[in-house]
Structures are given as structure tokens and as C-alpha cells.
Structure 1
Amino acid sequence: MSPHRWQKSSYCQEGDACVHISSAPTLVRIADDDPPRNVLTVGVKAFGGLLDMVKTSGGR
């Protein structure tokens, strides 16, 4: 079991492939499995930039 606390995306429907997020003070972990097997770890600032880009592009 992962020592990180994971939160499922609020956009996930039952049975969909979902994004899971785990955050720490300086890092954000992103995974698409539950339990997570492959994890992308980025800095908080980089993750904020990703969210800004997704919001301005409409998710495309």
C-alpha cells in the first residue's frame, strides 16, 4: 500500500479511467491507477502551471 494519501479526480465517473493526485508541501504525485503503479512526480509550481494551461485551453 502506498504511504501517500490519494484523491480521485472529481470528474471521474464509475468505471472510468481516473486520475489520482497525492500532494505534499513541495511535490504533487499523479497516477491513473488505484492503487497507483506508475506515478509522475512534479513540483507544486509546475503542477500549478499545468492546471492553468488546462483551464485556459478548455482541457484540449
Structure 2
Amino acid sequence: MTHLNWRKSSFCQEGEACVHVAAAAPGADVKVAGSADPGEAYLSVSQTAWSAFLRALKGAGTS
């Protein structure tokens, strides 16, 4: 099993209700979790989909 280095969102408030993300290697699918134990259950999305999601979020803040 591949070790994942989970990172907590910088927009996280107090407590563990946060988004966590991890990628095993460059080009690998991005893992996305929203719990205190992100390794337990997560979504897996392609790098392309994750990049498009982040671009959409960043663009939403410009209006």
C-alpha cells in the first residue's frame, strides 16, 4: 500500500471538519477527504479534474 502524505486545507477552522488532500506521486490521482481520519475514506480524482476544480474555485473569487 502506498503511503499518502495528507495535507489539511489552509482554510480550515477550529476542530477537524476540514478538507484533506494527498497524492502518492506526481501524476497520480489526488485523494480528497473531509474527516478527522482522511486515510479511512476518501475520493480519488485525476490530476486534470483536480486542477480544473481549483481553477474554477480561484475564478469564482474574481467576480
Gaps of 5+ in 1: none
> Contact 2:6–2:20 (CA<8 Å) still a contact in 1?
yes
Alignment map for 1:18-29 (pairs within 5 Å): 18-23=18-23, 24-26=25-27, 27-29=29-31
RMSD: 1.7
The percentage of counterpart residues that share the same residue type is 40
Following TM superposition, where does structure 1 have runs of at least 4 consecutive aligned residues deviating by more than 4 angstroms?
none
Which stretch shifts more, 16-25 or 45-54?
16-25
Mapped to 2, the partners of 1:55 and 1:16 lie a distance apart of 24
Length-normalised TM-score, structure 2: 0.76
- Over alpha carbons, which structure has the higher Rg? 2
Mapped to 2, the partners of 1:16 and 1:57 lie a distance apart of 25
Q: Which has the higher strand share?
A: 1
Does 2:48 correspond to 1:48? no
Length-normalised TM-score, structure 1: 0.79
